[in-house]
Amino acid sequence: MESRPFAGPMTGVQLVDEYFIENRTRLLDLAAFLDRLDRAADPAVDADFRMRAFREAVRTLSDSDGDRVGRIQMIFSDPRTEPTDGLDQKSACGAYRPEKGER
């Protein structure tokens, strides 16, 4: 089998016909999450490293530079290139936590 990328069998309008409603729902879920955070009125949220990455990812959603999913993955990724010296915690938390003094 030849290995080559392609856009998929569906036209753009067919994709919209099939997938608009469920993605509309996802968008509303995101909006509701952000509204919920606003209602909490907790200033700590704005300083939280996860929410800083989250808001940057939301901005990326609405640009037109392509490969949004790849770029958003990298927004959440640890940019370091070397292994760490010790285990800090067992599980990941979803966004890179900068060391003190970083960004």
Partner 1 sequence: MMEYIDMHAHMASRTTDDYEQMALTGCVALTDPAFWAGFDRSSADGFDDYFHQLTEVEPKRAARVGIRHYTWLCLNPKEADNRPLARAVIEKIPKYLDRPNVLGIGEIGLNRVTRNEVATFQDHLDLAVAHNQMILIHTPHLEDKYKGTRIIVETLLKDGRIDPGRILIDHAEEHTIGMILENGFWAGITLYPQTKVSPQRAIDMVERAGPERICVSSACDWGPSLPIAIPRFALEMRRRRHTERSIRKIIYENPAAFLSQSPRFMLEDATDRNGQKAAPSAPLGAR
With CA atoms as reference, report the closest residue to 61 among 47, 75, 78, 79: 75
Q: Which residue lies nearer to partner 1 by CB, 34 or 49?
A: 49
Q: Are 53 and 75 in contact (CB under 8 A)?
A: yes
Q: Which residue lies nearer to partner 1 by CB, 64 or 84?
A: 84
Report CA-CA distances (Å) from 69 to 31, 48, 72, 90, 102: 18, 22, 5, 26, 24
Q: Which residue lies nearer to partner 1 by CB, 45 or 71?
A: 71
Among 44, 70, 100, 102, interactor with partner 1 by CB under 8 A: 70
Residue 99 binding partner 1, by CB under 8 A: no
Cα separation of 82 and 10, whole Å?
42
Among 10, 31, 32, 58, interactor with partner 1 by CB under 8 A: 10
Among 43, 62, 89, 103, interactor with partner 1 by CB under 8 A: 89
